[in-house]
Structure formats: C-alpha cells, structure tokens
Amino acid sequence: YGSSSQKTDYVFKVVLIGDSAVGKSQILSRFSRNEFSLDSKATIGVEFQTRTLLIHHKSVKAQIWDTAGQERYRAVTSAYYRGAVGAMLVYDITKRQTFDHIPRWLEELRAHADKNIVIMLIGNKTDLENQRAVPTEDAKEFAEKEGLFFLETSALEATNVEEAFVTVLTQIFNIVN
C-alpha cells in the first residue's frame, strides 16, 4: 500500500491502421505524449510507443504500433499484426475515400490478426466539421453491422482520443480476465 511499484501486470499490443494522412501518427502522439503537430513530417519512424495506465487497479502497458508509410494496400506485413489484441481502424471524416477503404482494412486485419481482436473504428479530424464528407450515421451503421466499437476523434483538439484507447484496452482487459 502506498509504494510506487513499477510492476506491469499486462502488456497489450494495439495496431493503428487506415489510409495515409488520416491522422494515425498524430492520434498516437496525442495518446502517448499528449502532443500534436500539424506538420506530418514530424512523424518519427519508430515502430511503437508505449503508455502505461491503470485499468481496474492493474497496471496495463499499451504498446501502440504505427505504420511507417506502409499504408498501400497489402504492404502492411503480417509481422505488424502479430500478437495484436486491439486495433484502431482510422479514417478521415473529411475524405470519403478513406472511409470507403475501411472494409479492405478490416478484411486485411481479419486475415492476419487473432480472431478475438478488439477493433475500434475511428473517424478522425472532427475539428474540421465544416469539411465533413462522412456522416456519423454511416460509420455508426457500418460499425454496428461489423461488431466494431466506434468513436469520432480530433487528435488536434484531443477529443475522444483517450476514450478510444481506454475503451479498447478495458475491453481487452475484460476478455483476458
């Protein structure tokens, strides 16, 4: 009681997928370091970032993997998906095409990942509401049909980013416990 024990109870690998420029790296940066950059070149080519949080009084280390420009169809390798227990499937609410590609990403994910993987569909860039091209209802309907969690986020305004990860990590936690 009261000690600052560093022990980690769980490590959960979560992968970020979706088209290029939808904001995957900035979502990760917001979640892991509470930082945001409008310059996408600021994206560093690291494989993953970690952040440890408490879920039901247990220490959970989230290991979040980011693609380093491999977003072309089928360029993401199976090694990327290996061991993943969660996935963030991201599109840009201002770019219809990025939402239309979601079924492909889902197919890729289901082909490579564990069948019990927890998936969150994320519509990013809600701060650009005046440029919206994907109605919330369309995404909600798709998510329900496919059994995915769904949230709209803004990495820029820090809206729902924390909620998205906490939802997925808590769901994973509940599955393994």
Interface residue with ligand GDP, options 53, 128, 132, 166 (CB under 6 A): 128
Residues in the chain, overall count = 177
Number of residues that bind ligand GDP (CB under 6 A): 18
State the Cα–Cα distance between residues 145 and 168, nearest whole angstrom: 18
Contact by Cβ (8 Å): 134, 91: yes
Secondary-structure percent of the chain, ordered helix, strand, coil, rounded to 5? 35, 25, 35
Q: Interacting stretch for Mg ion, rule CB under 5 A, among 37-45, 100-108, 134-142, 146-154?
A: 37-45
Q: Report in angstroms how near the CB of residue 87 gets to Mg ion at its nearest.
A: 15
State the Cα–Cα distance between residues 48 and 4, nearest whole angstrom: 25
Q: In this complex, which beta carbon is closest to Mg ion, that of residue 43 or of residue 167?
A: 43
Burial 5-18 (b: 16+ CB within 10 A, else e): eeeeebebbbbbbb
Interface residue with Mg ion, options 12, 25, 92, 105 (CB under 5 A): 25
Interface residue with ligand GDP, options 8, 21, 50, 100 (CB under 6 A): 21
Q: Does 158 bind ligand GDP (CB under 6 A)?
A: no
Q: Which residues bind Mg ion (CB under 5 A)?
A: 24-25, 43
